[in-house]
Amino acid sequence: MTDNIPLLRQCAVTLMRYAVRIMPDARAPWAPAMQNEMSAIESDGEALRWAIGCLAVSCIQKIKISFGGFMNRQKINNVSAVIPVVMSFFALLIVLTVVITGWERHLKDEGAAAHIFQILIAAQLPFVLSFLVTANWKRGVLVARPLAFQFLAIGLALGSVAFFRL
């Protein structure tokens, strides 16, 4: 059945099916319109471009509806609470990798591992500041807990550098 259909058109049809499938219920009327428009396009390449665009729109609409639109203060605060901890964890992994494997231990100057570590530590500052700015200070304990966890994580990463004398 698909032997007579060119490959580009097959790809377009497949992408369009997926775009329709992931389209949120609130935007369901858009799906038949997108499909009808694609069936009217004669060029297979243009049909593929249309299908890619429809898939992008479906993904964007899915994300918008799933996450309630744009980021609000609470979402920014939640993200800003987690990212520094994750970055500290990766910085600690870099240190442990250097210690276990001896990666760049022979260099007289800092290598890539040290630079990656420094970037991971320095890049946390905007997120910590964002956390502090968006925090609900009326709920002090709920602000103090993530902040303490952030400082514990960065202390662990920096402490490991001091402990292993890197």
Q: Is residue 1 part of a domain?
A: no
Is 79 in the same domain as 61?
no
At CB < 8 A and 24+ separation, what contacts does 112-116 make?
A: 114/166
pLDDT in the model for residue 68: 64
Terminal-residue alpha carbon distance, the chain = 64
CB within 8 Å of 35: residues ≥ 6 apart: 16, 20
- Asked whether 113 and 99 are in contact (CB, 8 A), the reply is no
- Asked whether 49 and 38 are in contact (CB, 8 A), the reply is no
State which residues form the domain around 149: 73-164
Identify how many contiguous H helices and E strands the chain contains and give both numbers: 7, 0
Q: Is residue 134 part of a domain?
A: yes
Is 79 in the same domain as 134?
yes
Residue 28 structure tokens = 């369901």
CB within 8 Å of 104: residues ≥ 6 apart: 98, 111, 112, 113, 114
Is 158 in the same domain as 77?
yes
pLDDT in the model for residue 87: 93
pLDDT tens digits for range 32-56: 999 999 989 999 888 888 988 898 8
Task: Say which DSSP state 27 is in.
Answer: G
Is 86 in the same domain as 137?
yes
pLDDT tens digits for range 138-158: 887 888 888 898 999 999 999
Residue 52 structure tokens = 């890619």
Q: Is residue 82 part of a domain?
A: yes
pTM of the model: 0.57
Q: Is residue 118 part of a domain?
A: yes
Q: Sort 77 into a burial class: Cβ within 10 Å, 0-12 / 13-18 / 19+.
A: buried
pLDDT tens digits for range 104-125: 777 777 888 889 999 999 999 9
Is 35 in the same domain as 79?
no
Give the whole-number percent of the chain exceeding pLDDT 90: 33
pLDDT over 90 at 69, yes or no:
no
Q: Which of 40, 66, 92 is the last residue of a domain?
A: 66
Is 81 in the same domain as 144?
yes
pLDDT in the model for residue 67: 64
Q: Is residue 2 part of a domain?
A: no
pLDDT in the model for residue 12: 87
- Asked whether 75 and 140 are in contact (CB, 8 A), the reply is no
